[in-house]
């Protein structure tokens, strides 16, 4: 039986720890850490993510502000709002929920956020610092994956990790984190993408496989080696006539097929997903306490 890596429980431990940290911080006379969340438009998935982030702030004891802007908001208005938040002394972290409507440049939005408040870790300054191994805000999902590996007793040091996907928010940063010469990383990393020929030739060599392609159940049992550790980042909605909503959530890994063959696996939902918000909260706390940039 494979170890099922319970991201929900690891994430709630982290959130409980942060709640205690906030209590101590307030007792020492510090103000509450503050997170500003901006949502543009009415994408239901984005609304749900923003709602969960605001709820997490309340639970941990952070101050939060949330702006809900209409889908046709001019880019200039959004950029000016970010600039106001950059200079707001009550705000330590700024998060603009992606994706944005087509008339708004995601690149401009990310680059307008002060990198010292970029708790999503997407600003080029943070991305660059991550590569050269300097203190920075690491993107939340990749940072969460490293914590999951460590807390589940599957340290990547000395292991061959194969990452499927090279996006700027998951694939590249998780690979960059994993090659750092640190206790929780220190892995040998291969990155695969749509230009990779014969994907399974690489995935079969993985001691740890990180699937982040956004392709439902595309990693099958014949593509992994016995005893591999499988981290499923994918969150895919697939039609399901038996479900009330008409769809179900599934990962990039065929869980039922791979579970008997692997040593450990993250479920979807309840694996990597909950770690993302926990790490966002952690980055906001680190920002408030000047632990990264001061
Ligand atoms: P992107 O679509 O931005 O990137 C997907 C990457 O996978 C690309 O690099 C693409 O290659 C590669 N890819 C796609 N198909 C294949 C294939 N058949 N073989 C090899 N590589 C392939 O997705 P994201 O990185 O944003 O997200 C990936 C998944 O993770 C999604 O399901 C998303 O919903 C989920 N996600 C989950 C999060 C969480 O909190 N758990 C957070 C963020 C994302 P190429 O570059 O060549 O196009």
Q: Which of 250, 110, 89 is nearest to 168 (CA)?
A: 110
How far apart are the CA of 272 and the centre of ligand 1, in A? 14
Decide if 30-114 and 140-274 have a common fold.
yes
Residue 208 pLDDT class (50, 70, 90 cuts):
very high
Tens-digit pLDDT profile for residues 114-137:
999 999 999 999 999 999 999 999
Percent of the chain with pLDDT over 70: 100
How far apart are the CA of 61 and the centre of ligand 1, in A? 33
Could you tell me if 119 and 35 are in contact, meaning their C-beta atoms sit under 8 angstroms apart?
yes
Q: What CATH number should be reported for the domain whose range is 30-114? A: 3.40.50.10860
The structural domains of the chain, with segments of one domain joined by +, span 30-114, 140-274
Q: How many CA atoms lie within 13 A of 239 on its CB side?
A: 1
**Which of 212, 223, 231 should be mutated for ligand 1, with most atoms under 8 A from CB?**
212
State if pTM tops 0.85: yes
The pLDDT of residue 294:
64
The pLDDT of residue 91:
98
Active site residues: 53, 97, 120
The residues lining ligand 1, judged by C-beta closer than 6 Å to any ligand atom, are 141, 164-167, 169-171, 192-196, 199, 212-215, 233-236, 272-273, 276
CA–CA distance, 144 with 218 (Å, rounded to integer)? 22
Strands 93-96 and 34-40: parallel
Q: Considering just the CA atoms, what is the radius of gyration of the chain in Å?
A: 19
- CATH fold for the domain made of 140-274: Rossmann fold (3.40.50)
Residue nearest to atom 20 of ligand 1 (CA): 193
The pLDDT of residue 293:
83
Tens-digit pLDDT profile for residues 86-103:
999 999 999 999 999 999
- DSSP conformation class of 87: T
Q: Which residues of 191-201 are buried (b: 16+ CB within 10 A; e: fewer)?
A: bbeeebeebee
Could you tell me if 201 and 173 are in contact, meaning their C-beta atoms sit under 8 angstroms apart?
no
Considering the chain, what is the average pLDDT of its residues?
97
Q: How many CA atoms lie within 13 A of 257 on its CB side?
A: 13
Q: Where does 154-232 have alpha helices with state H?
A: 171-178, 199-203
Residue 292 pLDDT class (50, 70, 90 cuts):
confident
């Amino acid at each position: 039986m494979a170890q099922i890596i319970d991201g929900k429980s690891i994430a709630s431990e982290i959130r409980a720890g942060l709640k205690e940290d906030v209590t101590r911080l307030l007792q020492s006379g510090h103000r509450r850490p503050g997170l500003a969340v901006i949502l543009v438009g009415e994408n239901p998935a984005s609304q749900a993510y923003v709602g969960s982030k605001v709820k997490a702030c309340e639970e941990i004891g952070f101050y939060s502000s949330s702006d809900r802007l209409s889908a046709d908001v001019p880019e200039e208005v959004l950029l000016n709002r970010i600039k106001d938040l950059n200079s707001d002394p009550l705000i330590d972290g700024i998060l603009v929920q992606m994706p944005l409507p087509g008339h708004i440049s995601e690149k401009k939005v990310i680059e307008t956020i002060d990198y010292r408040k970029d708790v999503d870790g997407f600003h080029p300054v943070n991305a660059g610092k991550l590569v050269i191994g300097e203190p920075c805000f690491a993107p939340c999902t990749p940072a969460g994956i490293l914590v999951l590996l460590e807390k589940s007793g599957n340290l990547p040091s000395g292991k061959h990790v194969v990452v499927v996907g090279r996006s700027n928010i998951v694939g590249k940063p998780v690979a960059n984190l994993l090659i750092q010469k640190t206790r929780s990383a220190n892995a040998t990393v291969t990155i695969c993408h749509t230009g990779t020929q014969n994907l399974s030739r690489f995935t079969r060599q993985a001691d740890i496989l990180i699937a982040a392609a956004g392709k439902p159940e595309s990693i099958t049992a014949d593509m992994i080696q016995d005893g591999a550790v499988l981290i499923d980042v994918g969150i895919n909605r697939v039609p399901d006539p038996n479900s009330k909503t008409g769809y179900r959530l599934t990962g990039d890994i065929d869980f039922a097929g791979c579970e008997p063959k692997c040593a450990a696996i993250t479920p979807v939902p309840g694996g990597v997903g909950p770690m993302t918000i926990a790490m966002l909260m952690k980055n906001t706390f680190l920002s408030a306490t000047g632990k990264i940039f001061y």
